[in-house]
């Protein structure tokens, strides 16, 4: 008889029985100190990290005990994530991120949580558990998303190469050449790479730097962009950002429209993956707050109408004052809250979430985030044991349910860390 394939979530079955954990949960308090991060991106997604090992090792070195990832559309790296996290005594959480489009809000010019694109709706799936043996429906949805992204990146790469060529720079780049660069950088399989705009921007920036001397870069970029380049000629990240904003965004010369799933399909995929649909709140992460999120009371009503039981903040975008305003109100409304950093640029920021400018997350908000991360641990544990988990539609008071799940999660983490 062949040995059963190891699953990334198998470790959750070793933590204890559901009965034992839930019994102990009735007499446990939340950990008074627990450093967490609910959302980073791991390579080969565009990421600040070169390898999975680097991400986990930095988390461990910085005292982050619970680490969640939220990759786009391929989860092959999650087994490696589990193995490394267990070796470093970090609790791994698995997730996904999906971009949906609400056409009715787009037509009304209402921005949701993308400040530059009305109607575009980012949604996360937290504590997913069925990402290795996909259901037929999950496979269908994921395959459709991947294929649409692939076709868009192919077309955009062709347009980008043509623009650079017009200005005397033969990049030799197409989508496959960009994928090859990602494979070489992260030592991964090509079929695990989901190309993103940032991958293209990085590849074109790197070739541009190879072919154009530093003293000529600013003028050449100004010619290519048709507006003045604002970045230092040696600033790799700055120029990558300018390539995206001046060439690849809506209305720009290399823009290719995206084909999105709708919000219902995005949520269906998250449920098929065994996760919790989670709304990423931008708040003052945009200079002009998105209409969907303002005021916070209206956002809460919308979240409830869309059956969200959890939201997430990427706190490095937020001031402490706005974080207090939004997180306190959302949690009081019976919605769990978590916090992450994304790390979806090349900036290698601290892994512990902090506010704008590195200011500390206020203690009363940190305690809400600790509670939320314990809810995720509980959901992951219960799903691994075939239970329902933390989903919309369960009976009872929402605030009490969050408290109950957070205590289960506290036991799960206690048992994991020994």
Report the CATH number at residue 336.
3.20.20.140
**Residue 36 in domain:** yes
Mean pLDDT confidence for 255-281: 96
Mean pLDDT confidence for 29-42: 94
Instruction: State which of 248, 282, 301 marks the end of a domain.
Output: 248
Is residue 64 located within the same domain as residue 86? yes
- Residue 96's contacts (CB-CB under 8 Å, 6 or more residues apart) are 70, 71, 72, 73, 75, 124, 125, 128, 131, 269, 270, 273, 275
Is residue 293 located within the same domain as residue 407? yes
Q: 1 pLDDT band (50/70/90 cuts)?
A: very low
Is residue 216 located within the same domain as residue 324? no
Domain range for residue 230? 140-248
Q: pLDDT at position 194, please?
A: 86
**Residue 1 in domain:** no
Mean pLDDT confidence for 202-218: 97
Is residue 205 located within the same domain as residue 327? no
Q: Does position 368 have pLDDT exceeding 60, yes or no?
A: yes
Mean pLDDT confidence for 324-350: 96
Is residue 112 located within the same domain as residue 162? no
Is residue 124 located within the same domain as residue 146? no
Is residue 295 located within the same domain as residue 207? no
- Residue 73's contacts (CB-CB under 8 Å, 6 or more residues apart) are 96, 142, 145, 146, 149, 194
Is residue 190 located within the same domain as residue 113? no
**Residue 267 in domain:** no
Q: pLDDT at position 3, please?
A: 46
Q: Does position 192 have pLDDT exceeding 90, yes or no?
A: no
Q: pLDDT at position 2, please?
A: 40
Helical H runs in 261-397? 263-272, 296-305, 320-332, 363-384
pLDDT above 90 covers a percentage of the chain that reads 90
Is residue 176 located within the same domain as residue 75? no
Instruction: State which of 179, 214, 248 marks the end of a domain.
Output: 248
Name the pTM for this structure: 0.92
3-class secondary-structure state, position 290? coil
**Residue 396 in domain:** yes
Q: 251 pLDDT band (50/70/90 cuts)?
A: confident
With 0-12 / 13-18 / 19 or more C-beta atoms within 10 angstroms meaning exposed / middle / buried, residue 277 is: buried
pLDDT above 70 covers a percentage of the chain that reads 99
Per the document, the length of the chain is 418
Residue 32: both structure tokens together: 């008074």
Mean pLDDT confidence for 13-41: 95
Q: Does position 393 have pLDDT exceeding 90, yes or no?
A: no
Q: 4 pLDDT band (50/70/90 cuts)?
A: low
- Cα Rg of the chain (Å, integer): 22
Is residue 147 located within the same domain as residue 125? no
3-class secondary-structure state, position 261? strand
Mean pLDDT confidence for 203-214: 97
Instruction: State which of 200, 233, 248 marks the end of a domain.
Output: 248
**Residue 255 in domain:** no
Is residue 122 located within the same domain as residue 169? no
Q: pLDDT at position 191, please?
A: 86
Residue 407: both structure tokens together: 């205590």
Q: 74 pLDDT band (50/70/90 cuts)?
A: confident
Is residue 293 located within the same domain as residue 231? no
With contact defined as beta carbons under 8 Å apart, do 124 and 70 qualify?
Answer: yes
- Count of structural domains, the chain: 2
């Amino acid at each position: 008889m062949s040995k059963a394939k190891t699953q990334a979530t198998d470790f959750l079955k070793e933590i204890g029985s559901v009965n034992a954990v839930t019994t102990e949960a009735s007499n446990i308090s939340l950990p008074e100190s627990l450093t967490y991060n609910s959302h980073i991106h791991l390579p080969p997604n565009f990421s600040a990290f070169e390898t999975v090992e680097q991400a986990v090792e930095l988390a461990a070195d910085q005292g982050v005990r619970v680490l969640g990832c939220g990759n786009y559309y391929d989860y092959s790296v999650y087994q490696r994530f589990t193995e490394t996290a267990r070796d470093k005594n970090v609790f791994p959480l698995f997730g996904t991120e999906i971009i949906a489009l609400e056409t009715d809000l787009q037509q009304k010019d209402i921005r949701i949580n993308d400040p530059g694109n009305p109607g575009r709706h980012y949604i996360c799936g937290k504590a997913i558990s069925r990402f290795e043996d996909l259901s037929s429906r999950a496979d269908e949805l994921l395959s459709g998303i991947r294929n649409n992204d692939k076709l868009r990146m192919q077309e955009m790469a062709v347009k980008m190469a043509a623009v650079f060529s017009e200005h005397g720079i033969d990049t030799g780049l197409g989508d496959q050449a960009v994928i090859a660069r990602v494979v070489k950088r992260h030592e991964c399989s090509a079929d695990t790479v989901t190309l993103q705009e940032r991958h293209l921007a990085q590849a074109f920036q790197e070739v541009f730097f190879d072919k154009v001397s530093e003293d000529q870069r600013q003028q050449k970029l100004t010619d290519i962009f048709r507006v003045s380049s604002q970045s230092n000629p040696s600033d790799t990240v700055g120029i990558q950002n300018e390539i995206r904003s001046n060439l690849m965004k809506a209305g720009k010369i290399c823009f290719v429209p995206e084909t999105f799933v709708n919000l219902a399909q995005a949520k269906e995929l998250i449920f098929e993956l065994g996760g919790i649909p989670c709304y990423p709140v931008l708040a003052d992460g945009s200079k002009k707050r998105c209409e969907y999120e303002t005021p916070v009371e209206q956002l809460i009503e919308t979240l409830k109408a869309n059956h969200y039981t959890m939201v997430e903040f990427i706190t490095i975008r937020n001031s402490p004052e706005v974080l207090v305003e939004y997180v306190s109100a959302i949690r009081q409304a019976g919605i769990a809250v978590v916090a992450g950093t994304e790390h979806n640029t090349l900036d290698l920021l601290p892994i512990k979430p902090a506010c704008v400018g590195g200011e500390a997350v206020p203690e009363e908000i940190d305690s809400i985030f600790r509670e939320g991360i314990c809810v995720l641990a509980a959901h992951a544990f219960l799903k691994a044991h075939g239970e329902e988990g933390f989903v919309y539609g369960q009976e009872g008071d929402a605030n009490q349910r969050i408290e109950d799940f957070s205590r289960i999660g506290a036991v799960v983490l206690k048992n994991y860390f020994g």
